[in-house]
Amino acid sequence: MAIKLALAVFMAAITGISADQTSATAPSLVTFIFGDSLTEVGNNNYLPYSLARSDFPFYGIDYINKKPTGRFTNGRTIGDIISEKLGIPSPPPYLSLNPTDDTILKGVNYASGGAGILNDTGLYFIQRMSFDDQIDYFENTTKVIKAKIGEQAANKLLNEAIYFIGMGSNDYINNFLQPFLPDAQQYTPDEFLAILNSKLAEQFTRLYLLGARKMVFHGLGPLGCIPSQRAKSSRNQCLHQVNEWVLQFNSKVQKLINVLNIKLKKAQLMFADTYQDVLDLVDNPSKYGFKVSNTSCCNVDTTVGGLCLSNAKVCKNRKEYVFWDAFHPSDAANAVLADRFFSKMFATNGSVAFAPGHMG
Ligand X SMILES: *[C@@H]1O[C@H](CO)[C@@H](O)[C@H](O)[C@H]1NC(C)=O
Query: By the criterion CB under 6 A, which residues form the site for ligand X?
Result: 99-100, 119, 132, 137, 140, 143-144, 236, 294-295, 347, 349, 351
Which is closer to ligand X, CB of 258 or CB of 294?
A: 294
Which is closer to ligand X, CB of 235 or CB of 265?
A: 235
Distances (CA, A) of 17 to 21, 33, 166, 190, 224: 6, 22, 27, 44, 42
HSE-CB of 182 using CA atoms within 13 angstroms: 5
Partners of 168 in beta bridges: none
Which is closer to ligand X, CB of 172 or CB of 323?
A: 323
Q: Tell me which residues are annotated as active site.
A: 37, 325, 328
State the nearest-atom distance from the C-beta of 69 to ligand X, in Å. 21
What amino acid occupies position 123?
A: L
State the nearest-atom distance from the C-beta of 100 to ligand X, in Å. 5
Distance CA 98, CA 266 (A): 32
Asked if 94 and 137 touch (Cβ cutoff 8 Å), the reply is yes
Distance CA 32, CA 139 (A): 12
State the nearest-atom distance from the C-beta of 65 to ligand X, in Å. 28
Which is closer to ligand X, CB of 132 or CB of 301?
A: 132
Which is closer to ligand X, CB of 63 or CB of 125?
A: 125
State the nearest-atom distance from the C-beta of 199 to ligand X, in Å. 10
Residue 36 sits at the vertex; the CA angle it makes with 308 and 265, to the nearest 5 degrees, is: 165
Distance CA 345, CA 219 (A): 14
State the nearest-atom distance from the C-beta of 263 to ligand X, in Å. 23
Distances (CA, A) of 254 to 193, 198, 250: 13, 13, 6
Select from 357, 338, 121, 344 the least CA-distant residue to 258: 357
Partners of 35 in beta bridges: 166
